Amino acid sequence: MFSGSIPALVTPFAADGAIDAAAYRALIDWQIAEGSSALVPCGTTGEAATLSAEEHFGAVRVCVDQVAGRVPVIAGAGSNDTRVAADNLRRARQAGADAALMVPPYYNRPSQEGIFRHFAALAEQTELPIVLYNVPARTVTDILPATLARIVTAFPEIFVAVKDASGAIARVSQHRASCGDRFVQLSGNDDMALAFNAMGGRGCISVSANVAPRLCADLQAACAAGDYAAALALQDRLFPLHDALFSDASPGPVKYALSRVRAGFPTGIRLPMTWPSVESQRMVDAALAHAGLA
């Protein structure tokens, strides 16, 4: 259902702090024109944690409207409260999203049994396909391979993919063995996307694709075609950017990078996130030059 380069979209904020819908629509059109194969509004990079529910699903509606069926829309919808997560799934479906991106409960630190029951409860309340998002560095909760297999086996029509940001590359093979080839694995780390695909992944939900959508799409296309020499050349070109975009708290660096490659792109960011440091900006500048983007 999903493959290729899938940007985890930033959310543009106007000078008054409101979501800049015009800038968002323009960003969406550019992403599609540059070869992105799906879009993720209101994920971590989209500053979902600082959006009200009305803003969050309003942005999803804007994204769905602007996409107009050209690519799938995977709405960020996770919560550490199972009831809120279920309501988010309902809102995402009402907004027209094709799927939802769902983290396991953060902060609560549930057991593996609690993680399974959380997702089982959601599956019983929705028909919207779910992309599991495993990002232990942020949630302090790890969906272990045995638990992921249990979730997918119990509800194969709901849990169709994983965005794996665990950093444990061997899990691609573990998940292939337990969940089968039909289950889609997407890298959650740009710097590991090439190796992830070589082991059986089918794409990347990407921060860098916000800034370099064509290069990221070309890398994914090269992997899909089995041209790993071309993919490696693109990896080398993009790697400094992957690194620089996390040289300060995300999404500060990626918003700075977008202001460099797209004239007039809004520079708003919501506390507690801040504009990147001067040192981070210099790293981004150098990376953009290395990639031939600025």
pTM: 0.97
Residue 16, classed as helix, strand or coil, is coil
Give the integer Cα–Cα distance in Å for 101 and 1. Answer: 14
Please confirm, yes or no, whether 228 is among the known catalytic residues.
Answer: no
Name residue 62's amino acid.
V
Q: Are 180 and 153 in contact (CB under 8 A)?
A: no
SS3 call for 160: strand
Look up 255 and say whether it is catalytic: no
For the cut 90, the answer to whether the pLDDT of residue 64 exceeds it is yes
Which of 206, 205, 223, 151 has the alpha carbon at shortest distance from 183?
151
The identity of residue 93, as a single letter, is R
Q: Which of 24, 106, 107, 163 is catalytic?
A: 163
Q: pLDDT tens for residues 211-260?
A: 999 999 999 999 999 999 999 999 999 999 999 999 999 999 999 999 99
Mean pLDDT of 267-279: 97
> pLDDT band at 1, cuts 50/70/90?
confident
Write down the catalytic residue from 106, 107, 133, 255. Answer: 133
Q: What is the mean pLDDT of residues 185-210?
A: 98
Contacts for 227 with CB less than 8 Å, ≥ 6 apart: none
**Mean pLDDT of the residues in the chain:** 97
Model confidence at 281: pLDDT above 90 = yes
CATH 3.20.20.70 fits 4-231, yes or no: yes
**Percentage of the chain surpassing pLDDT 90?**
99
DSSP letters, 223-240, are: HHTT-HHHHHHHHHHHHH
Q: What integer pLDDT is reported at residue 74 of this predicted model?
A: 98
When pLDDT is averaged across residues 21-31 and rounded to a whole number, the result is 98
- What pLDDT, on a 0 to 100 scale, did the predictor assign at position 29? 98
Encode pLDDT of 14-23 as tens digits: 989 999 999 9
pLDDT tens, residue by residue, 102-143: 999 999 999 999 999 999 999 999 999 999 999 999 999 999
Backbone angles phi, psi at 35, to 5 degrees: 105, 5
